[in-house]
Chain A
């Protein structure tokens, strides 16, 4: 199972993404508890605030968009843990988030990582897809 925390915005405008691929290690169940403790269905509808970070979080087939002011409680625990384990990847050369869909499905035996590592950050073999479609809005 893959956990993604994508942070955009801020006055720098430089996006940062942390990706963690979970295997069947001893910490796996801890991650599931952490993920399931988050209120995924309570997506806030706050008006955007200038220069605040915008977080997109995906795990176990779910996704949510949160302004940084809402990254509290279990969200903060999850984000802090992903940031602690994952290696930050910055900039717009990152693959579009939708390209991560294939491995972001509900955890099953088919796509569960079989390594013994509880958490393995993504290596350099990540796909380098094109950036988001360009052109006048």
Chain B
């Protein structure tokens, strides 16, 4: 079996984009990809989820992700999907369209984080092509995952700028796709808040991975690029200090709690899924900062394997999820490990009981 220092998806990137400046590197990458084709086809027959083994290094993935297959569409301010195709994998940047190019790059960064940190081959771990639509609607203050694609609005220009400007938001939307393909947590109540929190975790990990930041130096902000200068705030959410992201005359104060004592009961937003996500968000940051280093390594792996490991149901609540993360940490790192202790301490700090 052939093994490359450079993973196949990076080779694919080189083959596509290095042509102008490094023609020989691009050709070499294309050659390497051709040589590897039979091997990669054979690998595709392996089980759907990679077997990491017990604490094995991440080079032991059963299968290597091949690289993203991105297509960007432009809704031209209508609300019809997918819109007009403007850029596909390997094609040059779209002239004078920052949203289209940010979307393309953000999908690539998200694919890279899931591939390098978790060995995951796209949203479904089966190389699902990544589709995104930009310029959706008029002054549309939102981005969402519609079950098949990411959709981004331009913002109203007064409170919000274009939603592709934030890599953590792009990672957040793709994260919803990963959750849908795995535990499929229902988007309501505590399961919905977990669904939201996992998207924030993955969004933050995508940003940190792309910037090479560790848990201690990362901002842990979601959507730090989205507010206009007119808003008194730093981001949509602070995973590290829920409730501190904004305090503004127009927007009010960030309503996120960071402890179960402040859990918000509401009928809006499907039971406050974007509010109560602050509690598990903070638990992840506490875990990651206690363990130290890159958050997409041990902490990210504990959360990711809990999501994909099959022990959750669509209606799992905070306590079920917390208990499952402790079990995952025990399996990966051992009952006496500092990683497991970090997880246990984090949930205790935010007031979520762990059943053992």
Contacts and interface: CB of A to CB of B under 8 A. Distances in A.
B269 A93 contact: no
A97 B228 CA distance: 29
B1 interface: no
Given A12-B236, A13-B274, A137-B190, A54 B144 contact: no
Interface string A1-29: 00000101111111100000000000000
A18 to B, nearest CB: 14
Contact of B143 (A11, A47, A54, A137): A11
B251 A51 contact: no
Contacts of B146: 49
B308 interface: no
A9 B275 CA distance: 9
A88 to B, nearest CB: 9
- A contacts with B: majority SS: loop
B87 to A, nearest CB: 23
Contacts of B265: 132-135, 137
A11 B187 contact: no
B251 A10 contact: no
Interface size class of A (residues with CB under 8 A): 20 to 34
A131 B250 CA distance: 17
Contacts of A132: 264-266
A81 interface: no
Contact of A136 (B172, B188, B260): B260
Contacts, number: 113
B263 A135 contact: yes
Nearest to B262: A134
What secondary structure prevails in chain B residues at the interface with A?
Answer: mixed
A98 to B, nearest CB: 9
Given A91-B255, A92-B252, A132-B265, A10 B142 contact: yes
Contacts of B255: 13, 91-92, 131
B325 interface: no
Contacts of B261: 135-136
B327 to A, nearest CB: 23
Interface in B306-329: none
A65 to B, nearest CB: 8
A13 B144 contact: no
Nearest to A9: B269
Given A11-B169, A132-B265, A90 B270 contact: no
Interface string A77-110: 0000000000000111110010000000000000
A52 interface: yes
B145 to A, nearest CB: 5
Interface in B252-279: 252-253, 255, 260-270, 273-275
B253 to A, nearest CB: 7
B195 interface: yes
Given A11-B163, A132-B265, A136-B260, A48 B142 contact: no
A83 to B, nearest CB: 10
Interface in A23-73: 47-54, 56
Nearest to B278: A13
Contacts of A93: 252-253
21 contacts: A9-B268, A9-B269, A11-B172, A12-B142, A12-B236, A12-B274, A14-B251, A15-B269, A48-B186, A48-B187, A49-B147, A50-B187, A54-B268, A54-B269, A92-B253, A93-B252, A131-B264, A133-B265, A135-B263, A136-B261, A137-B263
Given A91-B255, A134-B265, A137-B190, 16 more contacts: A9-B268, A11-B143, A11-B163, A12-B223, A13-B236, A13-B269, A48-B186, A48-B187, A49-B147, A50-B144, A53-B142, A90-B159, A91-B250, A136-B261, A137-B189, A137-B265
8 interchain residue pairs of minimum CB distance: A91-B252, A13-B274, A8-B268, A51-B144, A48-B187, A92-B255, A8-B269, A50-B176
